[in-house]
Structure 1
Amino acid sequence: MRMGASRLLLFLFCAMLTHLVKLAFAQQDPYVFHDCSNTGNVSRNSAYSKNVDTLLTTISSYTNIDYGFYNFSEGENSDRVNAIALCRVDLTPTDCQSCVKMCAFELLFRCPNQKEGIMWYMNCTVRYSNNSIFGVMQFKPVRQLSTDVKVTDPSGTFNQVRETLLDRLRSEAAASTSTLRKFATGRANSLYFDIYALLQCTPDLNQQECSDCLNQSIAKVSTCCDSSPGVRVLTPSCNVRYESYHFYRSTLEAPPPSSSTLPLPAKGKGSNSSRTIIIIVAAVVSAVLIFCICTCIYLRMRKQRKKVEMDEINSGAESLQFDFSMIRVATNNFSDVNKLGQGGFGTVYKGKFPNGQEIAVKRLSRSSEQGDQEFKNEILLVVKLQHRNLVRLLGFCFEGNERLLVYEFMPNASLDHFIFDPSKRLHLDWTIRYKIIVGIARGLQYLHEDSQFRIIHRDLKTSNVLLDEEMNPKISDFGMARLFTLDQSQANTRRIVGTYGYMAPEYAMHGHFSVKSDVFSYGVLILEMVCGQKNNYFQDGENTENLLSHAWKNWREGIASNLIDSTLRVGSTIEIMRCIHIGLLCVQENIAERPTMASVLLMLNSYSMALPVPSRPAFLMHNIVESDMLSDRSFQASQNEASMTDPYPR
Structure 2
Amino acid sequence: MFIMFLGYVLFLVPLPSASQPQAAPQLLRFRDSLPEASKSLLQWNQTTSASAHCSWPGVSCYTNETDFRVEKLELKGFGLTGVLEDSYSFLCGVPDLVLVDLSSNNFSGSIPIVLGNCSQIISVNLNNNHLSGPIPPDVFKPGKLLALGLGENKLSGTIPPEVGQCKRLEYLELNASSLSGEVPSELFSIQNLKYLYLNENKFNGTLPDLPSRCSLLELLLLNNSFHGPLPPSISNCRDLRFLDASFNELRGVLEQGIFAGLMQLDELALARNNFEGQIPMSVWSLRNLTSLKLFGNKFNGSIPEDFRRCVKLTHLDLSENGLTGPIPDSVSYLRNLRIMNLYKNRLSGHIPPGIGNCTPLTDVVLRENNISGVIPPEICGLRNLEFLMLSHNKIEGPIPDCIGSLISLQVFSVFNNSMTGRVPPGITKLTNLTTLNLSVNNLDGVIPSDLGKNLVPGLDFLDLTGNQFTGELPLAACSANRLRRFTLGDNKFVGGFPTEIIKCKSLIRLFLYNNSLQGSIPNEMINSSSIEYFNIRGNMFEGSIPTVLGSWSNLSSVDLSDNKFSGSIPKEFGALQNLVEMNISSNRLTGKIPPELSRCPKIDILDLSKNELKGGVPSEILSSSSLSIIQFQDNKLTGMIPNTSASGQKLRVLQLGDNLLEGHFPCSLNTDLKSLNLSRNKLSGEIPRCIGNLKVLEILDISSNDFSGKIPSVANNMGSLQFLNISYNQLSGQIPDAWAKPLEHPGTSEGNPSLCLASINSGSCRSHKKAHLKGSALAGIITGSFFLTACLLAAIYVLVTRFWHRTPSTPEQSLLHHQSSYEDLPEDLKFVDILRGTEGWSDKYVIGRGKHGTVYRAQSMKSKKHWAIKKVDLTKAKSNTEMRILNLVRHRNILRMGGYSIRNGYGYIVTEYMPEGTLYHLLHKRLPRVALTWEQRSRIALGIAQGLTYLHHDCVPQIIHRDIKSDNVLLDSKFEPKIADFGTAKLDSDVDEDETVSTIVGTLGYIAPENAYSSRLTDKCDVYSYGIILLELLCRKLPVDPSFDEGFDIVSWVRTTLHGYNHHLGFLDEEIMHWEREDQQEALEMVDLALKCTEMVPDIRPSMRDVVSSLLKFQRKFDVNVRIHSTPQQID
TM-score, shorter chain, exceeding 0.5: no
Greater share of residues in helix? 1
Which structure is richer in relative contact order (CA contacts within 8 A, separation 6 or more)? 1
TM-score with structure 1 setting the length = 0.44
Q: Considering only CA atoms, is the larger Rg found in Structure 1 or Structure 2?
A: 2
